[in-house]
Amino acid sequence: MAGRADANRRRIMDIALAELLRDADASMDQIARAAGVVRRTVYGHFPSREALMRALVDDAANAVEIAQAEALHEVEDPAKALARSMLAAWEIADGYRLLISLAQRSVTVEGIHRRLEPVRRECAAMLQRGLDEGRFTSPLPAIALAYVREQILFGLIQAVNDGVLAPAEAGRSAAVTALTAAGVPAGEAAELVAELVAA
């Protein structure tokens, strides 16, 4: 029974994400109709639109955490690890970027940052390794650099949403910008990211 309820919840979330990306003002009624269920079923899983938004943001944060862990797995060079993690995070963020902008109206920015804390901690550990090995140079401590990396992603999400940056360029731009913020020379950063994208 629990498995079926979980499957229904997952299906509602997937359809809600698609509906909200199509229409940022989609109501719970619209989402229920698109999911082929009665409104009461949607409210049974999510007591309010805000609760649904929080669940979708949690889902996005979890996906970023998994993608980053995979990107960092067995990567020795901290610069390569940072570039891979940015490319992986952008892949997830790009799919959720309109939702993230929408969520900032209903889920507090503080709430979004709190949900990203595990990602930030793992990133800070990787950045600290790079600083300790001399691969990165920055006047900022690793945890502050992790916040900078996070804001690069949020800034580029907004830039893409506002039409000033092409989505196809954003992942590469995010990785190069994060590397240069960590003190990697721009030419080397661009070359490393180009190699990763080509691979």
Instruction: Report how far residue 104's alpha carbon sits from residue 156's, in angstroms, rounded to the nearest whole number.
Output: 15
Q: What is the DSSP string of 117-143?
A: HHHHHHHHHHHHHHHHTTS---SS-HH
Say what the pLDDT of residue 107 is: 56
Query: Residue 110's pLDDT is what?
Result: 66
d(CA 74, CA 164): 35
Instruction: Write the CB contacts of 39 (distance below 8 Å, at least 6 apart in sequence).
Output: 28, 29, 32
Residue-level pLDDT, tens digit, the chain, 199 residues: 567 777 888 889 889 888 887 887 788 899 889 988 888 988 999 998 888 888 888 888 888 889 888 988 888 999 999 999 999 988 888 877 766 666 665 555 667 778 888 989 999 999 999 999 999 999 999 999 999 999 998 889 889 888 999 988 999 999 999 999 999 999 999 999 999 999 8
Per-residue pLDDT at 62: 87
What local confidence, expressed as pLDDT, does residue 2 receive?
A: 61
Query: Can you give the pLDDT at residue 139?
Result: 94
pLDDT at 105: 58
Model pTM greater than 0.85?
no
Residue type, 183: G
Structure tokens at 91: 């892949």
